[in-house]
Chain A
Amino acid sequence: MTGAPPPGLRLNGTLRFGAQVLFRDLSMTVRPGEWTCLLGDSGVGKSTVLRLLAGLETGAALEGEAGATDGAPLEGRIAWMAQSDLLAPWLDLHENLAMGARLRGEPPDRDRAAELLERVGLGPHAHKTPHMLSGGMRQRAALARALIEDRPVALLDEPFAALDLRTRAAMQELAFAELAGRTVLHVTHDPHEAARLGHRILVLTRDGLVEPALPAGLPIRDAAGPEVLEAQARLTRLLLGETRA
């Protein structure tokens, strides 16, 4: 990342799917340089929010605005990691990490690709193609590919969902360190993950956006620490609809 500070993100407005209103008068901001977790049930519109910010087709009509707080277009400033790994099946992991550079006509950074693959634990698999790897390994490769993009804004959609507990904790730490100082919007349905990673936690419910209290301390927090586990319990109750924030 070079030069200018990362922008914040803003999404204001009402989103409709045909006649159905997905959310009304939503007002959401993501502060620059922070890791913001967006929690919520499946189907509540978390991914749609991410896609609106990334400028991708959503099949929905937004009456309002979505973009960067500095007013400049987000194009070219986003690393996007989708729910599915979206690895190119004909390219080995090394070439999958070079995909962004090749698509831009830039020389790929081979050393950085090798380093990132090593750090996500795929060093020995760099020359395998995705079909030879497990779902968790593919997701780690997709994470490495999002990190190599080196963009000021990262939009992550369930980036750790396919990982086992230990790998997940390690990948959270890696991503948090690599993306430090950047603006991150991280969609997840895992309260523990949000409690661990968020500088800020937002919960998207059918009634709108809620901002529950944060666990004590700064992220990244201890995965098994009492603050995180307490916040996980609280967020779980919130998602179960048992209390209000």
Chain B
Amino acid sequence: MSRPPDPARSDPAGPDTSRLRDRVRDRALVAAILVGAWAAVAWGTGAPAFILPSPLRVAEAFVANAALIGDHALVTLAEVLAGLALGAGLGAATAVWLSLSAPARRLVMPALVFSQAVPIFALAPVLTLWLGYGIWPKILVTVLIIYFPVASAFLDGLRRADPALIELARVMGGGRWRILLRIRAPLALPDLASGLRLAAVYAPIGAVIGEWVGASKGLGYLMLLANGRAKTDLMFAALVALALGAVALHAVLGSLATRLERWSRTGRWR
């Protein structure tokens, strides 16, 4: 009477690694095509290097300025990570609070939605005015930009959580905090995960917006500086560093999100 279930469980690491290898190969191919197209345009049009530097020149600038780019990248990375942690934490806490209180939902949700209508770009100079040129206005822009996607995705999940399982939990005599912690939150993890995936995309944008408005450090600042001095190759090198960082962040948070989803459905992280 106990049928052996789901043969897919018994697989060794095999399929996962080969899928990863395929993905890396596909992405490398796409990157090569894009760089090739860029090189073709740069050489074909004969544009001067301060308008459109060739990939090779940008690579040279990257190597020559590696220490400089690295210093600024660390600042941007710190802003992004702090913004992510704070924004995701605040977003998740807001979702929990709103899921417990209908009056709070009625009052706060419209304000949250309205806040999304304000372009963060327009707000950034004010934040710099209030908080100065340091790291905090950048973190705050990042927090503002990712707070809403995380809060709204997690809240959706908390509220949609399988009503029958919630009913059972009530019949069992669970209070709403325990039901939230033990049933709703685990069921809503896949929704929190999709919020985090969005946050990973938005967070670097937030930090760079903050740096453009006023900064003395960070990749956004370095790009503006290089651009102003017609060091277009350095500007591109900084941009490449930013893009690589964003892709890496997306991969890390994406993998975390996949694990959250898997745990919620199967009780297993891997």
Chain A residues engaging chain B, CB cutoff 8 angstroms: 54-57, 75-76, 78-80, 82, 84, 86, 88-92, 99-100, 102-105, 121-122, 124-125, 129, 131-134, 136-137, 149, 164, 166-167
Q: Is the CB of A134 within 8 A of B3?
A: yes
Q: What distance in Å separates the Cβ of B172 from its nearest Cβ neighbour in chain A? A: 4
Q: Is B36 an interface residue (CB 8 A)?
A: no
| Given contacts A86-B168, A88-B186, A89-B265, A166 and B2 within 8 Å (CB-CB) | no
Main secondary structure of the interface of B (DSSP, over half): helix
Q: Within the complex, what minimum Cβ distance (angstroms) separates B4 from chain A?
A: 9
- The interface-forming segment of B38-46, B174-182, B230-238 is B174-182
CB-nearest residue of chain A to B266: A131
CB of B173 within 8 Å of the partner chain? yes
Our pick among A80, A82, A90, A92 for the contact of B264 (Cβ within 8 Å) is: A90
Name A102's closest neighbour in chain B (CB-CB).
B182
Given contacts A102-B182, A132-B6, A137-B2, contact A149 B172 (CB under 8 A): yes
Interface size on B, residues (CB 8 A): 28
B50 → chain A closest CB, angstroms: 56
CB within 8 Å for A89 and B172 given contacts A57-B167, A134-B3, A136-B1:
no
Chain B residues with CB under 8 Å of A84's CB are: 164
Which chain A residue lies CB-closest to B171? A80
Task: Point out which of B182, B266, B267, B268 has the most chain A C-beta atoms below 10 A from its C-beta.
Answer: B267
B171 lies within 8 A of A78 (CB): yes
Contact in complex: B2, A104 (CB < 8 Å)? no
Asked if residues A125 and B164 are in contact (CB atoms below 8 Å), the reply is no
Give the contacting residue for A91; candidates B3, B9, B171, B267; CB below 8 A.
B267
In whole angstroms, what is the CA distance A194 to B198 when docked? Answer: 53
- Given the interface pairs A100-B173, A103-B179, the reply to whether A90 lies near B2 with Cβ below 8 Å is no
Apart from A84-B164, A136-B1, what are 11 other A-B pairs with CB-CB below 8 Å? A55-B171, A56-B167, A88-B165, A92-B267, A99-B169, A104-B173, A129-B266, A131-B267, A132-B5, A134-B2, A137-B2
Known: A129-B266, A131-B266. A102 touches B178 (CB 8 A): yes
Contacts of B6 in A (CB 8 A): 131-132
Residues of B within 8 A of A129 (CB): 266-268
Cβ-based interface call for B183 (8 A): yes
Chain A hits for B172, CB < 8 A: 99-100, 103-104, 149
CB–CB B168/A80 < 8 A = yes
Which chain A residues lie closer than 8 Å to B5 at the CB level? 132-134, 137
> Within 8 Å of chain A (Cβ to Cβ): is B263?
yes
CA distance A92 to B175 in the complex (A): 22
A100→B164 CA distance, assembly (Å): 15
Please indicate the chain B residues that have their CB under 8 angstroms from the CB of A75 in the complex.
173
A88–B183 CB distance below 8 A: yes
Check A164–B265 contact: CB distance below 8 A. no
Report Cα–Cα, A164/B3, bound state, in Å.
12
Q: What residue of chain A has the Cβ atom nearest to residue B189's Cβ?
A: A90
Q: Which residues from B are CB-within-8-Å of A99? A: 169, 172, 182
B164:A86 contact, CB within 8 angstroms: yes
CB-CB under 8 A from B267, the residues of chain A are 89-92, 129, 131
Distance in angstroms from B239 CB to nearest chain A CB is 41
- A166-B168 CB under 8 A given contacts A89-B267, A129-B267, A131-B266: no
With both chains docked as a complex, state the minimum distance between the C-beta of A139 and any C-beta of chain B, in angstroms: 12
With A100-B172, A132-B9 as given contacts, are A82 and B164 in contact (CB-CB < 8 Å)?
yes
Residue in A closest to B186 when the chains form the complex, CB atoms: A90
- Listed from nearest, the 4 A-B pairs whose CB atoms lie closest are A103-B174, A129-B267, A100-B172, A90-B267
CB distance from A8 to the nearest CB of B (A): 19
Report which residue of B3, B172, B266 has the largest number of chain A beta carbons within 10 angstroms of its beta carbon.
B172
Within 8 A of A (CB), among B147-172: 162, 164-165, 167-169, 171-172
Q: Is the CB of A166 within 8 A of B266?
A: no
- Complex Cα spacing A122 to B179, Å: 26
Asked if B1 and A166 make an inter-chain contact with CB atoms under 8 angstroms apart, the answer reads yes
Q: How far is the CB of B81 from chain A (nearest CB, A)?
A: 28
Q: How far is the CA of A200 from the CA of B264 in the complex (A)?
A: 42
> B178: nearest residue on chain A (CB-CB)?
A103
State A84–B168 Cα separation when bound (angstroms).
11
B174 to A, closest residue via Cβ: A103
B186 neighbours in A (Cβ, 8 Å): 88, 90
Residues of B with C-beta under 8 A to A103 = 169, 172-175, 178-179, 182-183
Complex Cα gap A188–B179 (Å): 29
Beta-carbon contact of A90 and B263 below 8 Å: yes
